[in-house]
A and B are shown apart, each in its own frame.
Chain A
Amino acid sequence: MTRTLLDVRGLTRRFGGLTAVDLIDLTIAAGELVSVIGPNGAGKTTLFNLVTGHDAPDAGAVHLDGDAVTGLAPERLAAKGLARTFQHGRVFANLSVLDNVLVGAHTRLRAVRPQGWGPLAELALALIRPRAVRDEEAALRAEALEILALFGERLLPRRDQPAHSLSYANRRRLEIARALALRPRLLLLDEPTAGMNPTETAEMLEIIRALKARGLTVLLIEHKLDLVMQLSDRVLVMDHGKRIAEGAPADVARDPAVVEAYLGHGEVGRAATSHLEAAQ
């Protein structure tokens, strides 16, 4: 049994009368790729926000590699190796593509942000820029370019352009590039292929597959079932905030509760079931 990297127990978040996330349990082992699927409004993104510290749960606990991290601020979680992308894409619009990626590496700055030293030391080092600081910056810059190169010719030629000039698909790619610059222990991708055409989706699938092959642990929210079925080790299905199924992609796809919740009843459901099975 491999090491458990993320352990979520009984996580619950209520908004007024609505329980958006209801007693969700979830574990991810190191190196695993787990997907969360479910209809719109099922609570997937809320679950993401709870795990990444953007929202605090009403009940339940989150452990990252054995550390209790429930309700920790997002910046603390980032420092612990958690990186995420956002559903609607949140790049830094007026920063260059390269600077976006470099912000992703913020938690890895060591020379200019020595541990245990305060902000004044950081300011002084940033202004004086001793050799170690310059070397670190140069190394990160080189690494950021390597990360951009993962996306072929999509981002690299545009590295000095402001992010607001990118196409929607490229912004989604840039988000992933920024997340990779953090060198995450756990990467959370919120609908990475939203708004992408089939070619772009296939390209993204290959990129995620390559990340998985490198041993990266990934929690994925995705609507495109083909992609989920091809990539996931396990799938968690949510509806109305609750877990309705969990397991290997093939088992989940055959689960009648999933079919009903996710795709509706009757003819549509049957047609979709065959589609799900065909997708595997």
Chain B
Amino acid sequence: MGGLLSGAWIDHTVNGLIVGNIYALLAVGLALIFGVSHLINFAHGSVYMVGAYIGWACFRLLDAPLPVTLLAVAGGCALLGVAIERIGLRPLAGSARIAPLLATIGIGLVLDQLAQLAFTPDPRALPSPLPDWRIQIGGGTIGALDLLIAGVGVGSAALLYGFLRFTKLGWAVRATALDRDAAQQCGVDVNAVNRAVYAIASALGGVSGLLVGMYYNAIDPYMGFQAGLKGIVAQLIGGMGNVPGAIAGSLLLGLTESYGIALFGTSYRNLFAFVVMVLVLALRPNGLFSRARQTPPEPLTGTFVAPSRPVRIPGWLLWALGIAAAALPLAVQNAYVLQTLGNAWLYAVLALSLTLVAGTVGQISLGHAGLLAIGGYASALLALDAKLPVALAVPAAGVVTAVLGTLLVSPAFRLRGHYVSVATLGIGEIVALVILNWESVTRGPIGVVGIPPLSAFGTPLLSAPWVYWIPLAAVALVAQVQARLLGSHLGRTLRAIREDEVAARAYGVGLDRYKGLAFGVAGFAAGIAGALMAHVYSYINHETFHAPISVLALTMVILGGLGNVAGAILGAVALVGLPELFRAAAEYRMLIYGVTLLLLIRFRPQGLLGTV
């Protein structure tokens, strides 16, 4: 019969609504949190993952029945949410406006890593204890689990409505969301409100994780990353902080994905979500349900970076350090040490790129891994398929990344604050998904094998000193260009955008032009870094440049001091070089990065060398 009423389409619709219900459990929590604290909680996905593991423990270790498990998950995650708010976020009240956002990223990373250490990265089964029957409806079917998910979704929406509408604390939550200062002056305990909101949001998020685990009969420590993003996307569609909008946005997103998969295939699933997100951000940054011509709510105010006096490094010292770095392979023959430091130099180029956009222009990009990926693939494919000499492929990849990266990020030029981070994160994911799906060019999931090594005039430069020197030369070049740029009128112009976009525009600084310039330069640098990585590693696939690299790069940049050129290099050497040289076990490394990020935000937001 075909058409929309055929059994398959009913199944897709049911599936879309079920998935939408799950997203709604996440998005409602995110909307509540955004409402009272104007914060996009990037740790929310990790709470969802923790909920799934608590459920697993209840089923497998305690043999608990489903209702008890649901309560345990909700309670456990509520406690986790309260802890996140109390320990991770409340101490940051009054600090630089980007601090809480970065803290949620750090908390998410730490939770994911802890789960991985405790439960291994391998997926686990989470069988549903529900009876295995399905009801026939038309040509499609609905199972017990579908009904449970729908019931939990509708039930929690009703409970939430009752809470917000009829309880005193619920009124306080709504009052705080409308005007935090006024609520505080009227005697509302905003800390209690925050605590309640984080508890509710996290309980819903955890239950969502449990239900998803049961639905797919699989959980893993990284399941929260994508899910958290979906929740954010759903919330963006509905309008930030808008609870009914979040539910509607979630259902829309679930249906879009379900129909999209039916038409194009499973591997495209996430692509729809992120493309929808970028479109919404670019065209209707207040969500689909808001009236037109409102400026988006400003997520937090105050100075963007922690005010500081940057450490001035005398020129002779920089020269001395540079010469010492260049001469190192003459003294150190150990190939492992040189390769490790060479890798640190590659990350330093990435950190330089990020410190320009995140530090100088104040656009906290969470998609820098995507720029690396573009550079890496461009250079590898130019060398392999277009037979370009490596020495030409690398700079060409820099240009490709500059152009493509700027174009991809350009929808985010109109956005501010947390929206930029969300948009760039989504754009990074889009790059990874395109690489995965565009098999005719990128070779899809197989990856690119046999990438030629770095070479000059036809001579391969394979030895350890060259793998050290060439990245070092790239660092020197990019740092030199960046320092010169910061010393020109562009330095103050870009920093003016960071400090106050409205005032900068009032003085003739066009945002598109200068953000485009900054992303162009940053894209070139990141593209070079990705290209060199591809030729050094000789094999890359869509996971070589995965999202945690973006967070790692951000940690380097903050460690060194936002916008600080020397700081970015120092941060890269400290975070890539030191753990390797001290032989810190590889599985603890991401955890170390996450904890470092959290400690920095809390105790030294200006980094080691100071923000510029």
**Interfacial residues, chain A to chain B (CB-CB below 8 A):** 52, 54, 56, 73-75, 78-79, 83-84, 86, 90-95, 99, 102-104, 106-107, 109, 112, 119-120, 122-123, 126-127, 129, 137, 162, 164, 178, 182
Chain B residues closer than 8 Å to A90, beta-carbon distance: 500, 502-503
Task: Fill in one digit per residue for B482-511: 1 if any A CB lies within 8 Å of its CB, else 0.
Answer: 001100111011011011101111111111
Report the bound CA distance from A112 to B493 in whole Å. Answer: 13
Report the bound CA distance from A210 to B303 in whole Å. Answer: 33
- What are 25 sample pairs from A and B whose C-beta atoms fall under 8 A apart? A52-B506, A56-B293, A78-B505, A78-B506, A79-B508, A91-B500, A91-B503, A92-B496, A92-B499, A93-B303, A93-B499, A93-B500, A95-B495, A99-B495, A102-B489, A103-B496, A106-B507, A106-B508, A107-B508, A119-B520, A122-B490, A122-B517, A126-B484, A137-B489, A162-B307
B481 interface residue per 8 A CB criterion? yes
Interface pair B517/A103, CB less than 8 Å apart = no
A73-B517 contact in complex given A95-B499, A127-B481, C-beta closer than 8 Å: no
B513 interface residue per 8 A CB criterion? yes
Interface pair A123/B490, CB less than 8 Å apart = yes
Interface pair B504/A103, CB less than 8 Å apart = yes
**Interfacial residues, chain B to chain A (CB-CB below 8 A):** 293, 303-305, 307, 481, 484-485, 488-490, 492-493, 495-496, 498-500, 502-511, 513-514, 516-517, 520-521, 611
Report the bound CA distance from A137 to B499 in whole Å. Answer: 22
Chain B CB count within 10 A is highest, among A86, A120, A126, for A126
Tell me the smallest distance from the CB of B370 to a CB of chain A, in Å.
22
Q: Within the complex, which residue of B484, B496, B510 is in contact with A95, where a contact is CB–CB below 8 Å?
A: B496
A112-B488 contact in complex given A73-B505, A90-B503, C-beta closer than 8 Å: yes
Residue of B nearest to A112 (CB): B489
Extra pairs beyond A73-B510, A123-B520 (7, CB < 8 Å): A74-B502, A75-B511, A92-B499, A93-B499, A94-B305, A95-B492, A103-B509
Chain B residues closer than 8 Å to A79, beta-carbon distance: 508
Q: Within the complex, which residue of B304, B481, B493, B505 is in contact with A74, where a contact is CB–CB below 8 Å?
A: B505
Q: Within the complex, which residue of B481, B493, B505, B508 is in contact with A182, where a contact is CB–CB below 8 Å?
A: B508
Tell me the smallest distance from the CB of A244 to a CB of chain B, in Å.
28
Which 9 pairs from chain A and chain B are nearest by CB?
A78-B508, A107-B508, A126-B488, A92-B499, A90-B503, A74-B505, A99-B492, A103-B496, A75-B510
Chain B residues closer than 8 Å to A104, beta-carbon distance: 507
Residue of B nearest to A55 (CB): B295
Interface pair A75/B505, CB less than 8 Å apart = yes
Interface pair B508/A54, CB less than 8 Å apart = no
Chain B residues closer than 8 Å to A102, beta-carbon distance: 489, 492
Residue of B nearest to A80 (CB): B508
Interface pair B305/A123, CB less than 8 Å apart = no
Tell me the smallest distance from the CB of B249 to a CB of chain A, in Å.
23
Residue of B nearest to A56 (CB): B293
Chain B residues closer than 8 Å to A56, beta-carbon distance: 293
Chain B residues closer than 8 Å to A178, beta-carbon distance: 507
Tell me the smallest distance from the CB of B178 to a CB of chain A, in Å.
15
Interface pair B509/A75, CB less than 8 Å apart = yes
A106-B499 contact in complex given A79-B508, A84-B506, A126-B488, C-beta closer than 8 Å: no
Residue of A nearest to B294 (CB): A15
Interface pair A106/B509, CB less than 8 Å apart = yes
Tell me the smallest distance from the CB of A95 to a CB of chain B, in Å.
6
Interface pair A94/B503, CB less than 8 Å apart = no
Report the bound CA distance from A10 to B356 in whole Å. Answer: 45
Chain B residues closer than 8 Å to A74, beta-carbon distance: 502, 505-506
Chain A residues closer than 8 Å to B304, beta-carbon distance: 94
Interface pair A106/B506, CB less than 8 Å apart = no
Interface pair B307/A126, CB less than 8 Å apart = no
Chain A residues closer than 8 Å to B505, beta-carbon distance: 54, 73-75, 78
Report the bound CA distance from A137 to B491 in whole Å. Answer: 13
Chain B residues closer than 8 Å to A122, beta-carbon distance: 490, 517
Chain B CB count within 10 A is highest, among A78, A92, A182, for A92
Q: Within the complex, which residue of B303, B484, B495, B517 is in contact with A119, where a contact is CB–CB below 8 Å?
A: B517
